[in-house]
Amino acid sequence: MLELAEVPLPEPGPGEVRIKVEAAGVNFIDVYHRSGLYPLPLPMTPGSEAAGVVDAVGPGVEGFAPGDRVAHAMQLGSYAQYQVVPASKLVKVPADVSLQDAAAAMLQGMTAHYLATSTFPLGPGHRALVHAAAGGVGQLLVQVAKLRGATVYGTVSTEEKARLAREAGADEVIIYTKTDFEAEVRRLTGGRGVDVVYDSVGRTTFEASLRCLRPRGMLVLFGQSSGPVAPFDPQLLNKYGSLFLTRPSLGHYIADPQELATRAGELFSWIRSGKLRLRIDRTLPLAQAAEAHRLLESRATAGKLLLLP
């Protein structure tokens, strides 16, 4: 039921900024909002990430002015020509980073950043398993994990996606449609298991992901592209080695404006220096938002999808 519709131009209130959206990122959270998995009042404008130019500022806003290049993540309503965003959720985009790159990097890039630097802070000697390693977050997470000095195993569905995961820096790539990823992880680690599994798939990988961990390892479940995980007995965590399980969300890692600025600043620095390479799979006009969702859900993409108003 995604429809392109004319609505009144939104006016920024106190502490808010109106941006002219140049590019909006498409993410799985948008699918969850559309499907009702994460229920929202209807009608609603989807989209949780965008980059653009400040068009107007509301009362009390400091630090932003019309003409500033800005970006944000985790503010609903970016599938639009104009969007009103709290100033506290905006970051300025450096002059040498394109607005399309900024839109492609904010939600998925900061997700990769917090997962690898905060949820389970990777370092030399760590072994990490990244599911969907050729996806939008996956390719960035592999790169950040390698920047942190970790050994990275990635799972993908096809030979082409295996190539993309290797290009991102994965040390070993497992094509799960051909090889049992749990058995392969055990083989690669000499039976010990990995320190952390970053799992955005959910239902179909959950228990096998637990079994891939070393004793006292951590499963970081940050998505559910295959569906939500069924209720389970926490005794499983004991059974497989006194494991840790967390279900994080980006919003809780950028709620503080200073933390947001620090994460975005490091992300933009990596992009500018070439340490982090973005892959924009394709761009579509805003009117094709439904097609963008179909592509994302069918796993037909390898990289970022952007909508251009």
Same domain, 176 and 240: yes
What pLDDT is attached to residue 121? 98
What pLDDT is attached to residue 145? 98
The CATH number covering residue 276 comes to 3.90.180.10
Same domain, 130 and 236: yes
Distance in angstroms (rounded) separating the CA atoms of residues 160 and 18: 40
Distance in angstroms (rounded) separating the CA atoms of residues 165 and 163: 5
Same domain, 293 and 180: no
Residue 4 located in a structural domain: no
The CATH number covering residue 229 comes to 3.40.50.720
Same domain, 132 and 236: yes
What pLDDT is attached to residue 1? 83
> Which structural domain, as residue segments, surrounds residue 176?
123-247
pTM of whole model > 0.85?
yes
SS3 73: strand
Same domain, 74 and 157: no
Number of domains in the chain: 2
Same domain, 89 and 149: no
* β-pair type (127-130, 69-73): unpaired
**Residue ranges of the chain with per-residue pLDDT less than 50:** none
Same domain, 221 and 142: yes
For the CA atoms of the chain, what is the radius of gyration?
19
Same domain, 197 and 178: yes
Same domain, 96 and 169: no
What pLDDT is attached to residue 262? 96
Residue 241 located in a structural domain: yes
Q: Which letter, b or e, does each residue of 34-73 get, where b requires 16 or more Cβ atoms within 10 Å of its Cβ? A: beeeeeeeeeeebbbbbbbebbbbbeebeebeeebbbbbb
Q: 218, 247, 276: which is the final residue of a domain?
A: 247
Question: What does residue 144 show for φ and ψ, rounded to 5 degrees?
Answer: -65, -40
* β-pair type (69-73, 90-92): antiparallel
